[in-house]
């Protein structure tokens, strides 16, 4: 009888642990699932409308293969994970989402793709849950600055971005072959009598440090009017 009693308690404890794990998993906000249309695109050019969102951002200029670009990515993710841990303590955990980049050149007269890479301007971004606050941003920046002994984290900002109507396409392959996909966006814009209305936008669905170039998935997006 004692054996069966102990077994009952073991099963009850096991059930409780499983239930708590499932509740924890359910409680963690997955932005790629909550905003599925934002992180989705067809492999053919299409029209879409993007809602307003809250983002961590950091600005820079120069070659994306350069050291400064990598340092900015590192600073952005460090602050993002700092905010995540603060939210987790407050029982509002979330998964840090995909890296994004908004790209432009200051000289708008020419083709930006033909500009030297050292003239490329960018704003890197990671989408945040709407409940993230500037107080959490400040706390994360101060913590990172203290640990890393660097003022670079002060360049990270929290802001709202709304693109509205866009053309977009899922590009599969190396970044060097993006012009083929961008041409498809241009064709759609001509067909719909649309013009560019903002910065070129990329969402990096793949980790380009670990993924083979031919398998990279990148959403290419142009706001239009």
Closest by CA to 107, choosing from 121, 93, 126, 95, is: 121
Instruction: Check residue 202 and give its pLDDT.
Output: 98
Q: For 178-206, b where at least 16 C-beta lie within 10 A, e where not — what string?
A: beebbebbeebbeeeebeeebbbbbbbbb
Instruction: Check residue 20 and give its pLDDT.
Output: 45
| Ranges of the chain whose pLDDT falls below 50 | 2-4, 6-7, 9-17, 19-25
DSSP string, the chain: -HHHHHHHHHHHHHHHHHHHHHHHHHHSEEHHHHTTTTT---SS-EEEEEPPEEEEEEEEES-TTSHHHHHHHHHHHHHHHHHHHHHHHTT--EE---EEEEEE-S--SS-GGGS-GGG-EEEEEEEE-TT--HHHHHHHHHHHHHHHT-SGGGG-EEEEE--EEEEEEEEES-GGGHHHHHHHHHHHHHHTT--B-S-EEEEE-S-TTTS-GGG-EEEEEEEB-
pLDDT digits (tens, 9 = 90+) for 23-67: 444 578 999 999 999 999 999 999 999 999 999 999 999 999 999
Percent of the chain with pLDDT over 70: 87
Within 13 Å of residue 166, how many CA atoms lie on the same side as its CB?
A: 25
pTM as predicted: 0.86
């Amino acid at each position: 009888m004692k054996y069966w009693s102990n077994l009952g308690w073991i099963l009850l404890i096991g059930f409780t642990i499983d239930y708590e794990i499932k509740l924890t998993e359910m409680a963690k906000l997955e932005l790629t699932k909550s905003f599925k249309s934002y992180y989705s695109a067809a492999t053919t050019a299409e029209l879409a409308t993007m809602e307003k969102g809250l983002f961590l951002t950091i600005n820079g200029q120069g070659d994306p293969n350069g050291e400064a670009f990598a340092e900015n990515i590192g600073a952005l993710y460090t602050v993002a994970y700092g905010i995540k841990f603060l939210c987790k303590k407050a029982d509002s955990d979330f998964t840090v989402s995909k890296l994004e980049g908004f790209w432009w050149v200051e000289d708008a007269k020419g083709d930006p793709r033909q500009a030297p890479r050292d003239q490329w301007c960018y704003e890197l971004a990671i989408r945040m849950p709407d409940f993230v606050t500037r107080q959490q941003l400040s706390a994360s920046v101060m913590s990172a600055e203290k640990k890393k002994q660097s003022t670079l984290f002060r360049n990270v900002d929290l802001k709202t971005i709304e693109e509205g109507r866009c053309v977009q396409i899922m590009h599969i392959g190396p970044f060097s072959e993006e012009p083929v996909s961008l041409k498809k966006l241009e064709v759609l814009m001509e067909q719909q009598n649309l013009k560019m209305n903002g910065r070129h936008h990329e969402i990096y669905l793949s980790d380009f440090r670990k993924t083979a170039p031919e398998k990279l998935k990148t959403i290419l997006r142009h706001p239009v009017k």
